[in-house]
Amino acid sequence: MKKWMKLFLLLGACMILVMGCQKSEGEEAEQEEKKAEALEIESEKEDEDDAEESEEPDKKEEAEQPQAPATEAKTVTIYSSNDNADGFVTEEVEASEVTVGWLLGQLVDKGVVSGDVQAISCAETQVDGVKVLDLDLNQAFGNALGSMGTAGEYMTLGSLCNTFLDAYGCEKIQITVEGNTLETGHTEYPGYLNKFE
């Protein structure tokens, strides 16, 4: 459309020039000034139109592109046993990204689990409209838990459950060992566990 507009203006200018040749020199100078002014005005309008058209696609592209989430530090509560093994101690820790490995590392630092405990998988799902977490750990966790007394087992399992539930914002957690039900010398944990008190 711009090309046709420019062509039309050029043809108009040529016609004015041809007609201007027949008039006196004074009139010719006046007409040339008017043509120059008209061309400047048209050129300014075209520049404004071009600017508006070039801005519109940019705005559309900005609206269509998903905004990258801002990287914010997240505060996570890490649970561990108190010295008497009869209650939990909590510590608020900030992290730029919360991952299963990072959480296990925090629990290792607190002495809750040993360094050879690793996560095989971790998945958030919905069960009966409740947000739950399925955590599968390696055999090292099952072995360590099975070697503890009842108080140590309760505090270790509670610290792990509470830390993961808070970090992922879930209501319940199921912990398995290499895909199998978690079993210790004291009990089995076949289903979902709530937060420990």
How confident is the model over 98-108, as pLDDT tens digits?
Answer: 999 999 999 99
pTM higher than the cut 0.85 = no
- Tell me if residue 102 falls in helix, strand or coil: helix
Q: Is the pLDDT of residue 95 over 50?
A: yes
pLDDT score of 29 more than 70? no
> Alpha carbon 173 to chain centroid distance?
24
Q: What residues does each domain of the chain span?
A: 74-189
pLDDT digits (tens, 9 = 90+) for 149-166: 999 999 999 999 999 999
Lowest mean pLDDT among 17-21, 29-33, 39-43, 125-129: 17-21
Distance between CA atoms of residues 31 and 69, nearest Å: 60
- Cα(33)–Cα(90) distance, integer angstroms: 83
Per-residue pLDDT at 167 = 94
Q: Which residues contact 121 (CB under 8 A, 6 or more apart)?
A: 134, 135, 136
Q: Is 56 exposed, middle or buried (0-12, 13-18, 19+ CB in 10 A)?
A: exposed
